[in-house]
């Protein structure tokens, strides 16, 4: 029997597909790890919706964004500013979790973001109405039901 991981579309938090992640013997997930993965899905849902109040609730006081933009403060306030600026430049923001695994207090997520660059300047580029796709791998450390640290590596592609 294979355990399946359902990918989530965070704008509406609904399943969009299934990914095999191994047998139950290979990849057992504790209830605490399930809660941690759900917390990270909530985090990405808040980012996709630019829900800064929910981000305030989810981000630990000493949250650090290891993928911050140039000139961005790596803490909570800098991260929320980044989310607000992205939503000021992009519309139809969609986040799809392609894969997600948890081990203890760490959750690793492979995500794909899609949006339309039609509102404002984005990375120095003026809006052209084109789709932007970002793929990334992120790692969150969950402590006391809050996301403490985040790191991301990814690529941006304009279509």
14-23 sheet: strands from edge to edge? 14-23, 2-9, 90-103, 106-117, 130-143, 146-158, 59-65
Distance CA(2)–CA(26), nearest Å, equals: 9
Q: What contacts 38, CB < 8 A, 6 or more positions away?
A: none
Whether the predicted model's global pTM rises above the 0.85 cut: no
Question: One digit per residue, pLDDT tens: the chain, 159 residues?
Answer: 222 222 333 333 333 444 444 444 456 788 999 999 999 999 999 999 999 999 988 888 888 887 777 787 888 899 999 999 999 999 999 999 999 999 998 999 999 999 999 999 988 899 999 999 999 999 988 887 666 556 655 444 444
Domain boundaries, the chain: 2-158
Pick the CATH number of 2-158 from 3.10.450.50, 1.10.630.10, 3.40.50.11540, 3.40.50.970: 3.10.450.50
User: How is residue 8 annotated by DSSP?
Assistant: E
Strand pairing class (59-65; 106-117): unpaired
């Amino acid at each position: 029997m294979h355990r399946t991981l359902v990918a989530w579309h965070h704008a509406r938090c609904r399943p969009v597909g299934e990914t095999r992640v191994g047998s139950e013997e290979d990849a057992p997930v504790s209830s605490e790890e399930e809660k941690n993965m759900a917390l990270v899905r909530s985090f990405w849902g808040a980012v996709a919706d630019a829900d800064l109040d929910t981000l305030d609730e989810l981000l630990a006081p000493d949250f650090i964004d290891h993928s911050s933009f140039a000139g961005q403060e790596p803490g909570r306030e800098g991260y929320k500013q980044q989310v607000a600026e992205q939503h000021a430049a992009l519309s139809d923001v969609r986040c799809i979790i392609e894969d997600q695994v948890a081990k203890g207090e760490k959750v690793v997520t492979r995500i794909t973001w899609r949006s339309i660059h039609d509102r404002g300047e984005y990375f120095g580029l003026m809006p052209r109405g084109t789709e932007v796709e970002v793929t990334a791998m992120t790692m969150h450390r969950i402590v006391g039901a809050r996301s403490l640290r985040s790191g991301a590596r990814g690529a941006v592609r304009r279509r």
